[in-house]
Structure 1
Amino acid sequence: MKLPHWPRRVFAQLLLSQTVVTVGVTALTAGLFLAPVSSELDHDAMQRALSIAQATATDETLARAADARDVVTAQRNAEQIRLATGASFVVVTDLDGIRLSHTDPGRIGQRVSTDPEPALAGRSVTAIQQGTLGRTARGKVPLRTTDGRIVGEVSVGISDDSIRRRLLKMLTGILLCAAAGLTAGTVATLVLARRLKRRTHNIALADISALLVEREAMLHGIREGLVALDERGRIRLANDEALRLLDLPGECTGRPIAAVLPPGRLADVLTGRITGTDLPAVRDDRVLVVNRTATAEGAVVTLRDRTELESLVRELDTTRSLTEALRAQDHE
């Protein structure tokens, strides 16, 4: 099977790569946010179950019922508390861990499915456990009489389903925020890519590299000097011939014309204070012909060395003058 080609245009490459990065970052952020949220929801459910269990354990009637193994009273009071608090179950046991109450009356009289010993030993316990009613967040506390004697335990559970429902509600908000961030990132990427498309004329990335190589070869191969200036008159580019003709330092890029050339006609022509075509100017002992063309981002200046041509013209004028003089003398 033929694999799809990676897009060659700069516009398409930028759009695709930035979209992939935006989606990846959004997904990673949402995942990193959800992991502690799930743990925090479990912790909150366990603390809620513990609070209900502690409040239930203060019921003196329930403590007396557990001490007397009064199933009827224990079941009635525990169910009232369960319905009032919305807990999944409120189980009261005796000192042997035998249920005196349960949401399923058929399980009353059986030993609890999880270890009751820590609570019967006087410790409060929170945990996420799997029991007869499934996975629940649990809080267990000892059940004491008014004289402080432990007569059983109170175990309260919060259903895993209720925890997951809370997580799903939060997940909806998180996904909406992630979708908004993803949309904003994609739109910003599209705007940036379109702008880059206009600036690069939608050429391929390989073509840009080839153009740069060709430009370097052309700039340093031509016999005319070329200087590119930005809108502030700073040198952006100068080829080898321009460095020679203007006697510029090698590190002149980024420096203004006034910093590398002395005041005079040549500097005025390069900065645009003197305008025209084929303007003559002098640098040291060189005679130059300068042309300056304004661009959207500054200007481009071309320089031609006319020193040898001027010397030949002067020699020709001298020769003509001498010839005329000889002809006149010969005629006399």
Structure 2
Amino acid sequence: MDMRELPRRIHRWSLARQMLVLQTVVVGVTVAGSALLAFSQAGDLLGDEASRRAEAVAVSVADSPSVLAGLGDSAVLQPYAERVRLETGVDFITIMSPSGIRYTHPNPAQIGGHFLGNTTRALKGETFTETYTGTLGPSVRAVAPVRDSDGTVKGLVSAGITIDQIGVRTRGQIAGVALIGLLGLSVGGIGTYLVGTRLRRQTHGMGPAELSRMYEYHDAILHAVREGLLLVDDAGRVTLCNDGAGELLGLYGDVSGRHVTELGLAPSLAELLTSGETRTDEIHMTGERTLVVNVAMVRSGNRSLGIAVTLRDHTELQSLTGQLNAERGFADSLRATAHESANRLHTVITLVELGRTEQAMAFATAEIKAAQQLTDRVVGAVREPVLAALLLGKNAEAGERGVELVISPDTELDDIDLDDRDLVTILGNLIDNAVDAAMAGAPPARVEVSLRADETTFLISVADSGQGLDPATASKAFQQGWTTKGDGRGLGLAMVGQAVNRLGGVIDVGNGPGAVFTVRLPLPREARVS
């Protein structure tokens, strides 16, 4: 194999395979290094032990009274020295004269010969150790003086262990070290294999380049999509939140690891995210947005990964839908008015055909006068064209349902620089809610609307003749799903509250005798009445 191809081949390996090879090399080098270190330390320790044992044996023999008494007599000292040598495990014990003439030796043929080694320090009364090559080969030996009661050196004792014997013992230690090293290598190899297998399963056999590319795509897509995406685990903690979700929910900074109840979400949305239930295209309202929420369970095999939540901004569409409904209602009202006008025109024509001209003129004049008075009252008091058209349309709708819609005498409104769609949402839903409440109350059903603006504030007041709201009910009226009908689908007042929040206003609910909704919206500085 071309060695230049090796780095490229390794680069194409999966991450798990690379980690397996790397960990195997690390474990092998570690075990080999530990074995060499243990071998080196074992040799040093055995050498030190041999030196200490040789010194202890030499001093013990030199201090023996029988040795002092038997100096010069090999027949007495040789058996004694051999017995001690065998009992202590040293390789030789040599008892000699101060001049170095041997009295004992493991090889009897060496008795009477001259000791090979240094004796100068021992002749001065000092015990010392050294490594020296004698008749038995290189050895670690100790030399101790034999002194009489006056301290005079009468002889010398040398005890030693050959280097070969130390080597034999060291090689015996190597077998144990090697066995332990192989055991460590086996355990390390098995652990490395298990880790590699787990890593391969978690990375799906992909290499570093593939993982890096996948992360880059994943990160780019999460930041690019406008829709919000949340991943919430089974414990209710956020594991992923993209930029879209952060913007739609008003979340800033890294929220990973935080529980959904700690994010300051709308109660209905927080409850949904902790319920673990699958939902499709469910409407939820935050402080300023209307969101379409989808919740799906996420699983990997038999393991639950929590839920995936997608969020779409429905605010603009909801506003446009509200405005379209208002305009559609106005168109329906115009059709109803045209139908009613046709009926009245037929009545006038019939009266003329019957020769009752004066009655026909009186009937037509009265109808024209009533319609014109209402139009003149609305257009004269409300010079904001969108709101004027809305009031005329709502008046026709209320009339069809048997409810009288009254424009209060104090209504006076010029053009104001506020979002038309939010104004239509607020006023239209308040009137619709008031008409429903008035119809549920005692007759006559009546709704009164007041619109006026001062230098800083635009005020909207809608009162009905219904049964009113108790304070506990009033505090819940602007929550999503609340309705007096009890069907859990109330959205109109929630949209009113949301639009009021967007415009920076406040809304109050009172009774007098029916419910009275009062909205105060701050006017932009350039739009304030001078």
What TM bracket, shorter-length normalisation?
0.7 to 0.9
Q: Map 1:301-312; keep pairs closer than 5 Å.
A: 301-312=309-320
* 1:31 correspondence with 2:36: yes
Contact persistence 1:60–1:145 (CA under 8 A): no
The worse-fitting range, judged by mean Cα deviation, of 300-309 and 6-15 is: 6-15
Contact persistence 1:293–1:300 (CA under 8 A): yes
Contact persistence 2:279–2:293 (CA under 8 A): no
Deviations 1:220-239 (A, max 9, x none): 11121001112211122211
**In the alignment, what sits opposite 1:215?**
218
Distance in 1, matches of 2:162 and 2:31, equals 31
Contact persistence 2:50–2:161 (CA under 8 A): yes
* Equivalent residue in structure 2 for 1:90, among 79, 88, 93: 93
* 1:196 correspondence with 2:199: yes
**C-alpha deviation, 1:288, in angstroms:** 0.7
| AA of the residue aligned to 2:334 | L
Distance in 1, matches of 2:276 and 2:76, equals 105
| AA of the residue aligned to 1:316 | L
Contact persistence 2:59–2:144 (CA under 8 A): yes
**C-alpha deviation, 1:22, in angstroms:** 1.8
Distance of aligned partners of 1:77 and 1:330 in 2 relative to their CA distance in 1, 3 Å threshold: closer
Q: Map 1:87-236; keep pairs closer than 5 Å.
A: 87-105=90-108, 107-145=110-148, 148-236=151-239
* Gap runs ≥5 in structure 2: 299-303, 343-530
| AA of the residue aligned to 1:158 | I
Distance of aligned partners of 1:86 and 1:307 in 2 relative to their CA distance in 1, 3 Å threshold: closer
SS in 2 for 1:154: strand
Contact persistence 2:231–2:309 (CA under 8 A): yes
| AA of the residue aligned to 1:113 | L
Distance in 2, matches of 1:75 and 1:273, equals 95
Report the TM-score, using the length of structure 1 for normalisation.
Answer: 0.88
Distance in 1, matches of 2:230 and 2:66, equals 99
SS in 2 for 1:21: helix
The worse-fitting range, judged by mean Cα deviation, of 241-250 and 43-52 is: 43-52
Contact persistence 2:229–2:242 (CA under 8 A): yes
Distance in 2, matches of 1:219 and 1:293, equals 18
The worse-fitting range, judged by mean Cα deviation, of 225-234 and 255-264 is: 255-264
Deviations 1:211-250 (A, max 9, x none): 1111110001112100111221112221111111111122
Distance in 1, matches of 2:274 and 2:305, equals 14
**C-alpha deviation, 1:252, in angstroms:** 2.2
Higher relative contact order (CA 8 A, sep 6+): 1
Distance of aligned partners of 1:122 and 1:266 in 2 relative to their CA distance in 1, 3 Å threshold: same
The worse-fitting range, judged by mean Cα deviation, of 310-319 and 103-112 is: 103-112
Deviations 1:21-58 (A, max 9, x none): 22222233333333333222222222222232233324
* Equivalent residue in structure 1 for 2:256, among 242, 253, 257: 253
* Equivalent residue in structure 1 for 2:58, among 53, 58, 61: 53
**In the alignment, what sits opposite 2:10?**
6
* Gap runs ≥5 in structure 1: none
**In the alignment, what sits opposite 1:264?**
267
CA RMSD, 1 decimal: 2.6
Distance in 1, matches of 2:80 and 2:258, equals 89
**C-alpha deviation, 1:323, in angstroms:** 3.1
**In the alignment, what sits opposite 1:297?**
305
The worse-fitting range, judged by mean Cα deviation, of 147-156 and 133-142 is: 147-156
**C-alpha deviation, 1:300, in angstroms:** 1.4
Distance in 1, matches of 2:217 and 2:334, equals 55
The worse-fitting range, judged by mean Cα deviation, of 140-149 and 291-300 is: 140-149
Identity %: 35
SS in 1 for 2:271: helix
Distance in 1, matches of 2:31 and 2:140, equals 31
**In the alignment, what sits opposite 2:484?**
none
Distance of aligned partners of 1:81 and 1:311 in 2 relative to their CA distance in 1, 3 Å threshold: closer
Bigger Rg over Cα? 2
Deviations 1:37-82 (A, max 9, x none): 322222222222223223332455544554xx55565555544544
Distance in 1, matches of 2:75 and 2:233, equals 94
**In the alignment, what sits opposite 1:242?**
245
Distance in 2, matches of 1:246 and 1:84, equals 89
Contact persistence 2:93–2:105 (CA under 8 A): yes
Report the TM-score, using the length of structure 2 for normalisation.
Answer: 0.57
* 1:317 correspondence with 2:342: no
Contact persistence 2:265–2:286 (CA under 8 A): no
| AA of the residue aligned to 2:308 | V
| AA of the residue aligned to 1:307 | T
**C-alpha deviation, 1:204, in angstroms:** 0.9
| AA of the residue aligned to 2:180 | C
SS in 1 for 2:10: coil
The worse-fitting range, judged by mean Cα deviation, of 168-177 and 72-81 is: 72-81
Distance of aligned partners of 1:83 and 1:284 in 2 relative to their CA distance in 1, 3 Å threshold: closer
Contact persistence 1:269–1:290 (CA under 8 A): no
Contact persistence 2:19–2:196 (CA under 8 A): yes
Contact persistence 2:276–2:307 (CA under 8 A): no
Distance of aligned partners of 1:81 and 1:247 in 2 relative to their CA distance in 1, 3 Å threshold: closer
